[in-house]
Each structure stands twice: as C-alpha cells, then as structure tokens.
Amino acid sequence: MALTRRAFLRCALGTVTAVAFAGPSAGASRAAPGVTGGWRPAYLDLEDEGLFEERVDQACAMLEHCELCPRRCGVNRLAGEIGACRSPEQVVVFSAQPHFGEELPLVGRFGSGTIFFSNCNLRCVFCQNWPIAHEGRGDRLDDERLAELMLRVQQIGCHNINLVTPTHVMPHILRAVRIAAKRGLNIPLCYNTGGYDSLEAVQLLDGIVDIYLPDLKFMDSGPAERLAGAADYPETARAAIREMHRQVGELVTDASGIALRGLMIRHLVMPNRLAGTREFVRWVADTLPATTYVNIMSQYRVEHRAFEHPEIARAITTQEYLEAMDWAEEAGLENLDERSLMNREVFRRRG
Ligand code: SF4
C-alpha cells in the first residue's frame, strides 16, 4: 500500500517512540547485508584496538566549552547552556526509519537507515527540513535509547546507519555507537552532514565513520553569509571534505553496489548560480580524484524563509540544471550520481 507523505511522517514519528520505549522487535529481523564477505565497519576495529573509548572522551570534552563546529560558541553544553545550534543537553531525534530517497548505493533493496537529528548548526533560510532543523521538533533520547534506534534500523535490514545532521550531537552519537557496537551493530556508519564541520571534530571521527556524505552548499562567502549565516562556510567545508577523503577515500561498494566506505559529496543547484556550481565542480576536479562520487542535486524548493529573499524565491530553471551537469562533465568528473544523470534527461526533455 502506498503511503501518503503525511502518513509516512506519522509512521516516522511513531518509529522513534516505539523503538525508544519498547525496544527492537525480534520479528522484523533480517541479516545485515553489509557484513558479508569479511567486511567490517571501521568502528569495530577501533574498539578492538582499544582506542574508541578515548575518542569518545575527547569528543565529549568538546561539549564543555563547545567548539564542536566552526561557530565555536564556547557554551557549556554539559551544563545545559545553549549555543547557536539550540541543542539541549540530550540528543533530540525526529525520526528513524528506512529511507529510499537517498543515493542509490545507500538505499539498495532495504533502504538507508536514516536517523534525523533535530536542530542544526547552520541557519539556512531555504532549509528543506526547517521544522526539524530550526524548530527542534522531536524526542529527547539518552544514549541507551539512541543505541536501540541504531540496532532497530539494522534489525529491519537497512544497509547503513545514516546520521542526518549529526555535527552538533557528534559526541552523543559516538557514545551510542559504542553501546550499540557491543550489542551487535555491524553496518556502516554514514555521516550525512551539511558540511559546516570543524577540522578537529572530523579528525576525531577517523576510524569510526565509514561513509561521509557532506554537502558543499556554497563556494563563496557572500551567499553563505546571507543565506546560511556562515561566511566561513566555503573554506571550512572544503577543509572538512579534504579530511574526510583522506580518511575514507573514494566510494567502495559490495558486489551488489551497496556502499561500504568512502566519500559521497552532495551539491544543491540554486537559483541565480548562488551555490557556485562551476567553482564547486572545478574544486572537486582539482582537489580530489576524478572518480569521486558527486551528486548534483536539482530538488531546490522555496521553503522556510526563502520567499523573503528574491534571489532564491523561485525554482531553478532547466538551463540552470543543465549547465550545472555540463560543467561537471567539462571538469572531468567521472562518477556522477545515477539519479542526477536521469534528472538531466528529464530536464532535457522539458526543453
Ligand atoms: S555545536 Fe552548537 S553550541 Fe557547539 S559550537 Fe556549534 S553551534 Fe555552537
């Protein structure tokens, strides 16, 4: 039976509540697909080497004078002080469920196990998830409950744990992963970030995260300041992505095309070339291997407060998307997302 959007969201909320308070249901168990062929997620090796606990401690210490992200608010999150991301002391989760709208190597047959974290360290006026990211809707969970959610999405067969908007709650996530790993978590961790990550925080994730899925939203500080409240976004996101690539390299999949490890970059084409798409593809081509997985996304919508900003108060045009894809190919990028290539055909037919 097809689900309406409203029913789907209701299910998603229900999933958090059910899992958080009732625990995993054994009846829905399926073999985790990522563990075949001798492959292991990075965090299990780090635990075996005795290094995971120390990494968790280092991450948690960053909360005391919060410098988890480039905003460096300096608030004591452990004492409940609130910084720019508006995060309370506990993690807030909006939903946890298989998601089939992500990149195909993440989705496979049984879906990507998305856990949507509420609040965000970016303030994008065009936020597509504004009720979650800006209003902080969701349920507060302790580490045990978050670990249960991770085990639950593995149990229902998801191919990965897809941590959506994790930056401001990274220490909480690491604590929960460690608990879940001791109880059998063994699928890849996918760090699905807006890209506004400090280098120090990303370095702490070395040997823990298997798949990095960062946005690179802006290449110029002007639009980054006006539209996301972060003038330093371009340089910090580029530095973070270089470090992510150093850690995990290019995308590696299993025999059926399911992502196991590597970097996948997202870039949303915006009206009036405000995302700097031409500079983006040139930067990738100049900095990373030509075979880096890149998703040039066409789904910009006028959401949240975008209608107050005339420069982004419309959909992108056919020409804006087609020129973006042409620039990517001219730059020599060889591993463009399959759905973006299909979207190009749709835009071409529209003319
Ligand atoms: S994670 Fe939140 S509190 Fe910490 S520096 Fe970033 S915006 Fe500020």
Is pLDDT above 50 for 22?
no
CA–centroid distance, 168 to ligand 1, in Å, is 6
The pLDDT, as a whole number, for residue 36 is 53
Q: Do 248 and 209 meet the contact criterion of CB atoms below 8 Å apart?
A: yes
Residue nearest to atom 4 of ligand 1 (CA): 66
Mean pLDDT of all residues belonging to the chain:
91
CA–centroid distance, 233 to ligand 1, in Å, is 14
Higher pLDDT residue, 139 or 2? 139
Q: What is the mean pLDDT of residues 98-112?
A: 97
Question: Which residues on adjacent β-strands are paired with residue 92?
Answer: 140
Burial 272-281 (b: 16+ CB within 10 A, else e): ebbbbbbbbb
Task: Check residue 246 and report its DSSP letter.
Answer: H
Map residue 112 onto helix, strand or coil. Answer: strand
Whether 63 is covered by a domain: the verdict is no
Q: How many angstroms separate the first and last alpha carbons of the chain? A: 34
Ligand 1 mutation pick, 60, 66, 89, max ligand atoms within 8 A of CB: 66
Is pLDDT above 60 for 35?
no
Q: What is the mean pLDDT of residues 187-211?
A: 98
- The answer for residues whose C-beta is within 8 angstroms of residue 22's C-beta and 6 or more apart is none
Nearest to 217 by CA among 203, 238, 201: 238
CA–centroid distance, 162 to ligand 1, in Å, is 21
The pLDDT, as a whole number, for residue 37 is 65
The pLDDT, as a whole number, for residue 323 is 98
- The answer for residues whose C-beta is within 8 angstroms of residue 182's C-beta and 6 or more apart is 47
Is pLDDT above 70 for 183?
yes
Ligand 1 mutation pick, 92, 121, 170, max ligand atoms within 8 A of CB: 121
Whether 70 is covered by a domain: the verdict is no
Atom of ligand 1 nearest to the CA of 84: 7
The pLDDT, as a whole number, for residue 351 is 76
CA–centroid distance, 206 to ligand 1, in Å, is 20
Atom of ligand 1 nearest to the CA of 167: 1
Locate the DSSP E strands across 100-229.
112-117, 139-141, 161-164, 189-192, 211-212
Which is it for the CA torsion 110, 115, 120, 121, positive or negative? negative
Whether 40 is covered by a domain: the verdict is no
Atom of ligand 1 nearest to the CA of 66: 4
The pLDDT, as a whole number, for residue 350 is 86
The pLDDT, as a whole number, for residue 38 is 79
Q: Do 102 and 232 meet the contact criterion of CB atoms below 8 Å apart?
A: no
**CB distance 85 to ligand 1 below 6 Å:** yes
Domain count, the chain: 1
Is pLDDT above 80 for 21?
no
Q: Considering the entire predicted model, what is its pTM? A: 0.91
pLDDT by residue (tens digit) across 78-91? 999 999 999 999 99
**CB distance 72 to ligand 1 below 6 Å:** yes
Whether 8 is covered by a domain: the verdict is no
- Is residue 166 exposed (0-12), middle (13-18) or buried (19+ Cβ within 10 Å)? buried
The pLDDT, as a whole number, for residue 320 is 98
pLDDT by residue (tens digit) across 275-304? 999 999 999 999 999 999 999 999 999 999
Is pLDDT above 80 for 344?
yes
Phi, psi of 309 (to 5 degrees): -120, 100
**What long-range pairs does 59-64 form, CB within 8 A, spacing at least 24?**
59/170, 59/171, 59/174, 59/201, 59/204, 60/171, 60/175, 62/171, 62/200, 62/201, 63/171
Is pLDDT above 50 for 11?
no
Whether 220 is covered by a domain: the verdict is yes
Residue 158's Cβ-side half-sphere holds a number of Cα atoms within 13 Å equal to 28
Q: Which domain holds residue 303?
A: 90-350
| Length of the chain (residues) | 351
**CB distance 71 to ligand 1 below 6 Å:** yes
* CATH classification at residue 277: 3.20.20.70
**CB distance 267 to ligand 1 below 6 Å:** no
**CB distance 73 to ligand 1 below 6 Å:** yes
CA–centroid distance, 172 to ligand 1, in Å, is 14
